[in-house]
Amino acid sequence: MSNRIITLGEVMMRLSTPGHERFFQTRDYEVQYGGAEANVAVSLAFWGQSVAHICAFPDSDIGKAAIAYLRSTGIDTSFIQKNAGRMGLYFFEGGAMQRASKIIYDRAFSAFAQFDGEEVDWDRVFEGADWFHWTGITPAISEATAKLTLNALKAAKRHGVTVSGDINYRRNLWQYGKSPLDVMPELIHHTQVIVGGVTDLANCMDVHEEDYVTACQKAQADFPSITHIASTDRHSKSSSHNILSGMLWNGKQLLHSRSYDMPNIVDRVGGGDAFMAGLIFGLLNGSDHSALEFAVAASVLKHSIPGDVNFVSLEEVQDLVKGENVGKLLR
């Protein structure tokens, strides 16, 4: 039942203000590590999968600390490279009530940004792998990381590995002279499971449809490798109160999940990654419908945990899907 999953993407040091302090007033930053793809990796490892994450860190004590964190979660870190360049950082200020959360990225010139994967033995990476996961953040960082993504995708194809891609379009990346439409389509042609909303599909796949079903149909027509397209549907009443559901297009119909009311959010960063992880786990282990419900429940639980990462067990997600132990005091 344990699958082998490969993930690829930058891991940054996250420096968060404690409580709901603003950047202006804080005197301490809490250190964690996160990145969209590694967050997925950790979730999957917590659910008993065998996961290897590929990235690059500076060869410093800071880089060592980041590796130690990844290793602690049970991920295989043996393919991680040491590179010139700095540790990518991001500063996080947790919002509350009507006040938005803020992230200040400081990821330029990182070791990862200069990582093109030439020195990686991709065939060893994908030996025995069942799934590969990438996001649109990686090709958006630099020429090198766009090439890295393509290299990985080609190797995944050689090994017959199922591929998921979280499009994750971010406007303030893509600074190296290429536009998403220059780069993303080729990558998506190697991908079976896509996560993205209509904006992502428009920006990265040139699919301009307001209606999600129509957009999915068009996307599948243009990118025949695609089997599934999914997205969360988040309504932010405030930073402390969101309503979350998910939807999954499986080539035939658009499935909708239960909707969860979340009025006491602890930390919403990584909510999308938790959904992604849940979807991968679910599709590897069950029906489309159960995969979707699992993914949304996983995402909901993430909002209750400080940091980027969804430190929840398989049983905890399954319980929430079944509506068991919700808000209990388990002794």
Cβ at position 154, least distance to a second copy in Å? 30
Residue ranges in 164-223 that form contacts with a second copy under rule CB under 8 A = 170, 172
Number of Cβ within 10 Å of residue 142's Cβ equals 23
Assess 12 for contact with a second copy (CB under 8 A). no
- d(CA 43, CA 40) in angstroms, rounded, equals 5
- Judged by CB under 8 A, the stretch of 48-56, 119-127, 174-182, 299-307 that binds a second copy is 299-307
Assess 325 for contact with a second copy (CB under 8 A). yes
Assess 29 for contact with a second copy (CB under 8 A). yes
Please give the structure tokens belonging to residue 157: 């194809």
Cβ at position 65, least distance to a second copy in Å? 5
HSE-up of residue 54 (Cα within 13 Å, Cβ side) = 26
Residue ranges in 53-72 that form contacts with a second copy under rule CB under 8 A = 60-62, 64-65, 68-69, 71-72
- d(CA 81, CA 71) in angstroms, rounded, equals 14
- Judged by CB under 8 A, the stretch of 111-119, 191-199, 214-222, 240-248 that binds a second copy is 240-248
- d(CA 5, CA 323) in angstroms, rounded, equals 29
Residue ranges in 110-169 that form contacts with a second copy under rule CB under 8 A = none
At residue 70, φ and ψ (nearest 5 deg) are: -60, -45
Q: How close are the terminal C-alpha atoms of the chain, in Å?
A: 29
Cβ at position 224, least distance to a second copy in Å? 33
- d(CA 88, CA 107) in angstroms, rounded, equals 4
Assess 240 for contact with a second copy (CB under 8 A). yes
Are 203 and 180 in contact, with CB atoms under 8 Å apart?
yes
- When binding is defined by CB under 8 A, the residue of 38, 51, 284, 312 that contacts a second copy is 312
Cβ at position 239, least distance to a second copy in Å? 4
Assess 91 for contact with a second copy (CB under 8 A). yes
